[in-house]
Amino acid sequence: MDQQFINILSEYPAGKKEGLLPILQEIQKERGFLTEDVLADVSLHLNLPINKIYGVAAFYDQFHFHPHGRNHFRICNGTACYLFGSSTFLKELEKQLKVKAGSTSRDGKFSLEIVTCLGSCDQAPVILVNETYYTRVTPGDLNKIIHSLKDKEE
Ligand code: FES
């Protein structure tokens, strides 16, 4: 356990399960993803079974169990975005980025995640790249986004 992790845990009283979500959120924010070792340490600190902690973390989209790429794409496949062609965009992203949905490219440059709603259904289709929202995305927009990020990575 490193000092940063100890500091996070020390902010929450041992044995108090109310600390679970904020602890996981802080770890996710600091490290970008959760590991089995981290969940085991949280389990010891809060005196909660690790399978319960894993279940909570797996329930929420905000938690991840593997590192994202430097450019993380979240493509919305909710009803509104689906009706505006998000599945076609997903196939295009997989092809151009050479990464399957739910994974990270071998070189660590790109990762791709399908989400159920990004909260902007009236501006579908919506794609979130790192912290930037792209709304009413067209195939041309998608190509520009991909090429600009690929250029940045080279
Ligand atoms: S369905 Fe895509 S933003 Fe809501």
pLDDT in tens, 123-132: 999 999 998 9
Residue 61 pLDDT > 90, yes or no?
no
The DSSP-derived string for 43-77 is HHHHT--HHHHHHHHHHSTT--SSPPPSEEEEEE-
State residue 41's pLDDT score.
94
Ligand 1 center from residue 93 Cα (angstroms):
18
Ligand 1 center from residue 82 Cα (angstroms):
8
pLDDT in tens, 96-133: 999 999 889 988 999 999 999 999 999 999 999 998 99
Residues making up the chain, counted from first to last = 154
Q: Is the CB of 34 under 6 A from ligand 1?
A: no
Residue 18 pLDDT > 80, yes or no?
yes
State residue 73's pLDDT score.
95
**Cβ-contact 53, 20 below 8 angstroms:** yes
- Domain parsing of the chain, residue ranges: 3-59, 71-153
Architecture of domain 71-153: 3-Layer(aba) Sandwich (3.40)
Third-level CATH fold of 3-59: Arc Repressor Mutant, subunit A (1.10.10)
Q: Is the CB of 19 under 6 A from ligand 1?
A: no
Which atom of ligand 1 is least distant from the CA of 79? 1
